[in-house]
């Protein structure tokens, strides 16, 4: 049973809304939400208006929509577009999820967000379903986007740090995942680092994975104590696996602020485009300043 939760900073109690109050306690014990959550969206509201005390905000839908397994119900406003034949939009939990739709031959589907505040350390956790027909294109370049995070501006548009997680074709019917980051100042991100196995097909087509991303800024301008981590567990797995750990790096606040991570996007541009209409699904998006490895 899915719950929609908003935790307001400085308030010690959580407000839980359950579709069935009779088994709310049972559900809480089986799937407890992490403490000190800044933001949580299960998309059960069927809109993109969920917020928190700091002012978290989803940007406009860019080839994204909230869907049930029968129809798309939100895309920059209420809609009711029946699911095309042959598609599977079954959510991870509850009745709704966020869909990222890549039409055949098109490179872009993306959901941007503003955290509403600036956080020196930030954690994200969410479920992501590999498309049932996923194939990573092979013509160069093959880099795609999974997630991006920044402080004052994305890459060359800011003077603060940026972190980007990029899948690449592995040449063996699958994808690897890399990290690129920008320390700050002028210019863009550096080279791709820590290439690790990510998705194999057809084995992983249609599977749900839970992703945890962590980014920690440096404590000083010239202090090499920043950290980037990636964790993942498949739906069938009980424990998270550490995919990336990039530590002892310098990612200070920009000189004019903000003093922490402030904005980002999920998914994004792909190279090359998919040959078929391809849908990713996301569910239970969670943001915290504390560990989400539970």
pLDDT computed for residue 65 by the predictor: 99
- C-alpha to C-alpha distance for 126 and 144, rounded to whole angstroms: 19
Contact of 110 with 123, CB cutoff 8 Å: no
Going from N- to C-terminal start, the domains of the chain cover 57-284
Confidence of residue 132 (pLDDT cuts 50, 70, 90): very high
Model pTM score: 0.88
Pick the CATH number of 57-284 from 3.40.30.10, 3.50.50.60, 2.60.120.200, 3.90.1300.10: 2.60.120.200
Residue 261 burial (CB count, 10 A): 28
pLDDT computed for residue 8 by the predictor: 39
What's the mean pLDDT when you consider all of the chain? 90
Q: What percent of the chain has pLDDT over 90?
A: 85
Q: What number is the average pLDDT over the span 82-97?
A: 97
Residue 29 has pLDDT above 60, yes or no: no
Residue 273 has pLDDT above 70, yes or no: yes
Task: Tell me how far the alpha carbon of residue 118 is from its chain's centroid.
Answer: 17
Query: Could you read off the pLDDT of 141-162 as tens digits, one per residue?
Result: 999 999 999 999 999 999 999 9
Confidence of residue 34 (pLDDT cuts 50, 70, 90): low
pLDDT computed for residue 3 by the predictor: 44
pLDDT computed for residue 188 by the predictor: 86
Question: Which residues are CB-contacts of 261 (< 8 A; sequence separation ≥ 6)?
Answer: 115, 118, 119, 120, 122, 149, 150, 151, 215, 217
Residue 4 has pLDDT above 80, yes or no: no
- C-alpha to C-alpha distance for 267 and 136, rounded to whole angstroms: 14
């Amino acid at each position: 049973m899915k719950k929609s939760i908003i935790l307001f900073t400085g308030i010690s109690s959580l407000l839980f809304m359950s579709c069935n109050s009779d088994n709310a306690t049972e559900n809480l014990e089986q799937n407890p939400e992490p403490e000190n959550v800044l933001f949580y969206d299960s998309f059960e509201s069927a809109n993109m208006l969920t917020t928190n005390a700091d002012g978290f905000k989803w940007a406009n839908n860019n080839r994204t929509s909230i869907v049930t397994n029968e129809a798309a119900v939100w895309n920059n406003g209420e809609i009711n577009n029946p699911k095309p034949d042959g598609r599977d939009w079954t959510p991870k939990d509850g009745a709704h999820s966020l869909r990222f739709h890549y039409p055949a031959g098109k490179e872009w589907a993306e959901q941007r967000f503003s955290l509403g505040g600036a956080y020196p350390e930030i954690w994200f956790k969410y479920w992501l379903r590999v498309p049932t027909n996923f194939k990573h294109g092979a013509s160069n370049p093959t880099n795609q986007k999974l997630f991006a995070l920044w402080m004052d501006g994305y890459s060359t548009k800011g003077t603060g740090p940026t972190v980007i997680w990029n899948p690449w074709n592995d040449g063996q019917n699958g994808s690897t995942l890399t990290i690129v980051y920008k320390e700050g100042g002028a210019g863009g991100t550096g080279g791709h680092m820590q290439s690790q196995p990510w998705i194999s097909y057809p084995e992983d087509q249609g599977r749900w994975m839970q992703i945890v991303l962590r980014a920690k800024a440096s404590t000083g301008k010239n202090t090499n104590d920043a950290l980037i981590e990636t964790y993942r567990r498949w739906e069938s797995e009980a424990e998270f696996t550490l995919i990336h750990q990039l530590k002892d790096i310098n990612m200070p606040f920009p000189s004019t602020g903000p003093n922490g991570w402030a904005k980002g996007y999920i998914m994004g541009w792909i190279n090359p485009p998919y040959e078929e209409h391809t849908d990713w699904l996301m569910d239970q998006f969670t943001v915290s300043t504390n560990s989400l490895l539970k």
